[in-house]
Amino acid sequence: DLNAGIIDEHEAQSRREEITQQADFYGAMDGASKFVRGDAIAGIVITVINVVGGLIIGMAEHGMPLLDAGSLFTQLTIGDGLVSQVPAFLISLAAGLLVTRSTQKSNLPQQFIAQLFSRPQAMWVAGAFLAILVATDLPRTPLMLLCAASLGMSR
């Protein structure tokens, strides 16, 4: 465009800087996604080690039968896996949001709020699921507060 005379040198320099910033950002996000992928693989390896180690410890040190050790230590491993993988999932989600929204000129928090409240049915469904969860052993007060807030925002 500069050689054709469509834009001046200042505009060309500004476009180059913008492209450089985008390339740097995408490069950084590529590195972050590889880190998250590695974190997920490490989580799987840790899960396998926890199950096998739990079986060995349960049977050898505690004298538990195989089925009892398997039941106990797989439940503990699932809990440990959730504790370690939920933050990794949230980081992946945030990285995905940043990458997909990085080239847009609009404000990300405003877009997020607009999309969240553009469909009241989504808040109603979330409130209904939270109401169902009240019947479980989860803490009832936070669930009821979140349920009421979700249902209130669905109107």
Mean pLDDT, residues 72-87: 86
Alpha helices, DSSP H only, in the chain? 9-60, 66-101, 108-117, 120-133, 140-153
**pLDDT value of residue 74:** 92
The residue ranking higher by pLDDT, 95 or 14, is 14
The answer to whether residues 143 and 134 touch, using CB atoms and an 8 Å cutoff, is yes
**pLDDT value of residue 99:** 67
- Tens digit of each residue's pLDDT (9 = 90 or more) over 44-69: 898 899 999 999 999 999 999 999 99
**pLDDT value of residue 36:** 67
Check pLDDT > 60 for residue 103: no
What is the C-alpha separation between 6 and 2, in angstroms, rounded? Answer: 6
Q: Give pTM, 2 decimals.
A: 0.49
Mean pLDDT, residues 112-137: 87
Give the percent of the chain with pLDDT over 70: 88
39: Cβ contacts below 8 Å, ≥ 6 apart: 88
**pLDDT value of residue 148:** 95
What is the C-alpha separation between 76 and 31, in angstroms, rounded? Answer: 32
